[in-house]
């Protein structure tokens, strides 16, 4: 399939063409820089459309707007009703393309959220996600509290979005698949030392869940950090369809087939992992065992998750990277009906 359609140039009736932008890592020093970067992202939405008329969804990496400074000052933070999101909406509408964007979002009750949004080709927000697993001890963001949403995407597909470090936890990808996602987007700002882990987890997340994974990092240097680019789209069997390089602003593309994902999930016997995980040994026992044999899951539900070596863990806060010891307790999952501010 990797050669089918020439990366989306010859789109099939059931296909979804993805474009992953290895955006040049920006340097954001002033609010003016933030405005300029907003304009630049919108211009690249237009470039993506001109680059491939068949493209359905263009994906920008985590930190594509605010860069990797980890500056949490209010003047650099965004909100869903702000000018940055408004500009992204207008760009998607103008160029008639879906877009996935990253913002660091103001949080009146604590540290900012690392937020991802998906906007459709009419300029409407269809998915709003707060990063569940900030990259501790380096990142200062508030842990996400709205779970992992799934939305209807272009050409009838089901989309989910996770962010960077989220993808190192197999439970994240399984949750996306369990909620029906056929394509899981993973945006990131990862730097070069993570390259191997990035590749193997993108492939494993795809195969273990019979799900397309579409992943992309920031690219290039900001004078301090070197992001790696490394856009990557994997088919549901774990095989990469396309892999990017370290070239900044490269847009890698591939056509994926959600209809074949659905076919595999229904028709596969051997390695139908999403189904078999919850129906253990169905050859031997009717319907398979449907209990939870995993101690860590039970402990997490009861709020008693603790590793055998927990007392020996060295880093349990952000002091290594200059962040103060936090005093606030986590309040739990957000239940407000307007939390997504769609």
DSSP per position, 107-134: -TTSSPEEEEEEE-TTS-EEEEEE-SS-
Q: Do residues 147 and 161 make contact, with C-beta atoms less than 8 angstroms apart? A: no
Tens-digit pLDDT profile for residues 241-260: 999 988 999 999 999 999 99
Q: By C-alpha distance, which of 339, 342, 318, 298 is closest to 145?
A: 339
Q: Please enumerate in sequence order all residues whose Cβ is within 8 A of that of 217, keeping only pairs 6 or more positions apart, or say none.
A: 22, 61, 62, 187, 188, 189, 190, 198, 227, 228, 229, 230, 231
Q: How many CB atoms lie within 10 A of CB 15?
A: 23
DSSP code at position 19: E
Distance of CA 230 to the CA centre of its chain: 14
Q: What's residue 2's pLDDT?
A: 43
By annotation, the residues acting in catalysis are: 62, 131, 164
Question: What are the backbone dihedrals phi and psi of residue 264, each rounded to the nearest 5 degrees, phi first?
Answer: -65, -45
Using CA atoms, how far apart are residues 148 and 169, in angstroms rounded to an integer?
13
Q: Which residue's structure tokens are 């999952």?
A: 333
Tens-digit pLDDT profile for residues 162-171: 999 999 999 9
Q: What Rg do the C-alpha atoms of the chain give, in angstroms? A: 20
Using CA atoms, how far apart are residues 250 and 242, in angstroms rounded to an integer?
13
Tell me the CA distances in angstroms from 104 to 26, 68, 238, one per residue in order: 14, 11, 31
pLDDT band at 1; cut points 50, 70, 90: very low
- pLDDT greater than 90 at residue 118: yes
Tens-digit pLDDT profile for residues 126-140: 999 999 999 999 999
* Over residues 21-30, mean pLDDT: 96
Q: Please enumerate in sequence order all residues whose Cβ is within 8 A of that of 115, keeping only pairs 6 or more positions apart, or say none.
A: 78, 102, 103, 104, 105, 128, 129, 130, 131
Q: By C-alpha distance, which of 87, 190, 93 is closest to 135?
A: 190
pLDDT band at 339; cut points 50, 70, 90: low
E strands in 121-272: 125-130, 150-152, 158-163, 183-188, 212-217, 219-221, 226-228, 232-234, 240-243, 250-256
pLDDT band at 272; cut points 50, 70, 90: very high
Q: Do residues 85 and 103 make contact, with C-beta atoms less than 8 angstroms apart? A: yes
* Over residues 69-87, mean pLDDT: 96
Write down all domains in the chain, each with its CATH number in brackets: 4-276 (3.60.110.10)
């Amino acid at each position: 399939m990797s050669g089918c359609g020439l990366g989306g140039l010859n789109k099939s009736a059931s296909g979804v063409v993805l474009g992953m932008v290895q955006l040049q890592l920006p340097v954001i020093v002033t609010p003016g820089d933030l405005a300029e970067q907003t304009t630049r992202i919108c211009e690249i939405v237009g470039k993506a459309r001109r680059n491939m008329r068949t493209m359905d969804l263009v994906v920008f990496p985590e930190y594509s707007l605010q860069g990797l400074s980890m500056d949490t000052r209010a003047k650099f933070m965004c909100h869903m009703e702000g000018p940055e999101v408004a500009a992204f909406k207008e760009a998607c509408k103008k160029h008639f393309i879906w877009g996935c964007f990253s913002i660091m979002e103001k949080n009146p009750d604590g540290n900012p959220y690392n937020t991802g949004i998906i906007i459709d080709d009419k300029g409407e927000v269809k998915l709003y996600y707060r990063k569940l697993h900030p990259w501790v001890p380096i990142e200062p963001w508030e842990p996400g509290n709205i779970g992992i949403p799934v939305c209807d995407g272009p050409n009838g597909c089901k989309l989910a979005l996770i962010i960077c470090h989220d993808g190192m936890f197999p439970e994240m990808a399984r949750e996306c698949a369990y909620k029906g996602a056929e394509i899981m987007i993973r945006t990131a700002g990862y730097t070069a030392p993570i390259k191997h882990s990035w590749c193997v987890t993108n492939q494993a997340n795809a195969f273990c869940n019979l799900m397309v994974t579409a992943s992309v990092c920031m690219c290039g240097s900001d004078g301090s950090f070197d992001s790696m680019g490394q856009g990557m789209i994997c088919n549901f069997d774990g095989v990469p369809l396309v892999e990017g390089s370290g070239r900044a602003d490269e847009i890698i593309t591939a056509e994926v087939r959600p209809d074949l994902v659905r076919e595999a999930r229904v028709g596969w016997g051997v390695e139908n992992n999403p189904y078999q995980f919850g129906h253990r040994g169905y050859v031997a026992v009717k319907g398979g065992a449907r209990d939870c044999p995993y101690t860590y899951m039970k402990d997490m539900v009861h709020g008693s998750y603790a590793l055998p070596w927990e007392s020996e863990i060295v880093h349990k806060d952000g002091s290594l990277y200059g962040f103060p010891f936090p005093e606030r307790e986590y309040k739990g999952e957000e239940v407000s009906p307007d939390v997504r501010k769609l």
